[in-house]
Amino acid sequence: MDTSELIEEAKKAAGNAYAPYSNFKVGAAVLACGKIFTGCNIENSSYGLSICAERVGIFKAVSDGCRNIERIAVYAKKMPYPCGACLQVMAEFCEDDCEIIVTDGEKVERYKLFELLPKRFKLEK
């Protein structure tokens, strides 16, 4: 899967974001099972009920039976580094070397999950 295609899908997904409180629209594209699952952030006036784009995309993949996330691209007009909750969800469904791409449309940064979350919480199954 081409990185530019994954980024473009994340950028398109940001257009669907519901962000009337922060006006920070984020899109994510999650590659799993050879398919792209997109997500956008969805805010709520009760802030704790809001959800990030990354988790929406991951949950869509998981709900379709894809539990091994290969790569993730995240787009916003300002660099959209994943929050702690998103990183922990990634840790559940990604390998340590899963590539996380963040971009504002001009600058592109690439990380491995272990770089962003070096000491993840994980229960043994």
Total residues found in the chain within this entry: 125
Q: Is the pLDDT of residue 19 over 80?
A: yes
SS3 content of the chain, % helix, strand, coil (to 5): 30, 30, 40
What is the per-residue pLDDT for 49? 96
Residue 85 belongs to what H/E stretch?
Answer: helix 84-93
Q: Is the pLDDT of residue 122 over 90?
A: no
What is the mean predicted confidence (pLDDT) over 29-35?
97
Nearest to 54 by CA among 95, 84, 34: 84
Q: Is the pLDDT of residue 115 over 90?
A: yes
Q: What is the CATH number of domain 3-116?
A: 3.40.140.10
- C-beta separation of 76 from 86 below 8 A: no
What is the pLDDT confidence band of residue 64, given thresholds at 50, 70 and 90? very high
What is the mean predicted confidence (pLDDT) over 49-59?
98
Q: Domain coordinates of the chain in residue numbers?
A: 3-116
Pairing of strands 35-40, 69-75: unpaired
What is the per-residue pLDDT for 123? 84
Pairing of strands 94-103, 69-75: parallel
Supply the mean pLDDT for the chain: 96
Query: For residue range 36-48, what is the model confidence (pLDDT) as tens digits?
Result: 999 999 999 999 9
Which of the pair, 125 or 10, is modelled with greater confidence?
Answer: 10
Q: Is the pLDDT of residue 125 over 80?
A: no
* Catalytic site positions: 54
